[in-house]
A and B are shown apart, each in its own frame.
Chain A
């Protein structure tokens, strides 16, 4: 058992040579491609993650933009609605006023017309009366002699007048 701890120079040389050969061989043909592959994959993963984060961020901002736009649109729609309501009210008031004006004008015109007609009638009546008076006067002059005739003539004239006033539209 005593050579358990005796170093064997030959084996040591062999071990170092074997190990260093292995370091070279594995380093060149195994670890280099393996580590490169791992690093490549990790880089891709990092890129993917950052790209996903970026995409999420941009989607978020897009969403916010749309929400803002939606709010704007809603406000504008409400404004437009209020404007339309106001316009409608104005138009309604205008129309009402115009109609009132028109009706008032119509009434005024009608009244004027009526007054005119009345005046006309009065004038007509007056001329008629004067004509009748003239005729009476004529007859009175013609038949002065007879009081009886005179009375008859008067009755006749009064009847005529009454007749006229019954037939005529206004007195």
Chain B
């Protein structure tokens, strides 16, 4: 059994149908399907929950969602962006739950981790990057925002050096977001597959209990990581947007 083939089968994307739009290839793939399933699930879950919450119904789902929403509002958005940031709260909520659902769907049998695809995480990071700049420009206007990219009060000769560094930093932040989520989501899968692969590598059933136990443990860890990475992605996005809205003077 070829381990590389096995890994590729489980981790990489598979094109299901080739669609093109004016020369741009927009294929329907496994990960795209998972994204859509996450999106549909999110809509099916949160729209009714919101309606129930407005009517004052309290049940497990409503309370759970409200708990997450309050956590994101009070622990992520408000401390990092201030009351100003409340207008970005819906974006942060969508980001958190979308990433969380994608991560968790990777743990479901026959599911696949869309956030373990670098194209998906890169797209989300690009959205964050655009939001950082959009929020900064919206707050200060283009000229002031561009001036704010370097900290004010620098000696004049430092400004030409600082500009590339700060711009690079801006891109790096988003790039790090992309890699962090991608690597975290894929690493657990690779390790689980490796443990299960041990059974075939040794060709012995005796190793199976150990491998399965390790895989179960790692799966539990992966559930934790799914929440953790959704949290971190949202937290860092909030911090970056908050920094763009409130630059250090």
- Determine if A22 and B98 form an interchain contact, defined as CB atoms under 8 angstroms apart: yes
- The smallest beta-carbon distance between B214 and chain A, in angstroms, is 23
Question: Which range contains the number of B residues in contact with the other chain?
Answer: 35 or more
Q: Which residues of B contact A115 (CB under 8 A)?
A: none
CA distance in complex: A106, B47 (Å): 113
A34/B4 in contact, CB under 8 A: no
Cβ A11 vs Cβ B13 within 8 A? yes
Q: Closest CB of chain B to A21's CB: distance in Å?
A: 7
Q: Interface residue tally of chain A, by bracket?
A: 20 to 34
Q: How far is the CB of A10 from chain B (nearest CB, A)?
A: 5
Q: A9-B24, A35-B69 are in contact. Are A23 and B11 (CB under 8 A)?
A: no
Give the CA-CA distance A35 to B78 in the complex, in Å.
14
Task: Knowing A9-B24, A27-B91, A37-B54 are in contact, say whether A19-B43 is a contact too (CB < 8 A).
Answer: no
On chain A, the residues within 8 Å of B239 by CB distance are none
- Distance from A16 Cβ to chain B, minimum over Cβ atoms (Å): 5
Instruction: Give chain B's interface secondary structure class.
Output: helix
- A8 interfacial contact with B, CB 8 Å: yes
Query: A26-B90, A38-B53 are contacts. A7–B42 as well, Cβ < 8 Å?
Result: no
* Chain B stretch 154-194: residues in CB contact (< 8 A) with chain A: 186
User: Once A and B bind, how many residue pairs between them come within 8 Å at the CB atom?
Assistant: 130
- Cβ 8 A contact of B49, one of A18, A30, A35: A30
B199 located at the interface, meaning its Cβ lies under 8 Å from any Cβ of chain A in the complex? no
At the interface, yes or no: A20 with Cβ under 8 Å from chain B? yes
In contact, A18 and B43 (Cβ under 8 angstroms)? no
Q: A31's contact among B12, B94, B119, B127, by CB below 8 Å, is which? A: B94
Q: Is B43 in contact with A29, judged by CB distance below 8 angstroms?
A: yes
The answer to whether A34 touches B24 (Cβ under 8 A) is: no
Residues of B within 8 A of A18 (CB): 32, 35-36, 39
Shortest beta-carbon distance from A52 to chain B in Å: 21
Cα–Cα, bound, A19→B130 (Å): 13
**Which chain B residues numbered 59 to 91 have a C-beta less than 8 Å away from chain A?**
65-66, 69-70, 73, 89-91
Residue A32, interface by CB 8 Å = yes
Question: Which residues of A approach B to under 8 Å, CB–CB?
Answer: 1, 3-16, 18-23, 25-27, 29-38
A-B contacts, 7 of them at CB < 8 A, read: A18-B32, A19-B123, A27-B90, A34-B69, A35-B73, A36-B54, A38-B53
Ranked nearest first, the 5 interchain pairs of A and B with the lowest CB-CB distance are: A15-B123, A30-B46, A34-B50, A27-B90, A31-B90
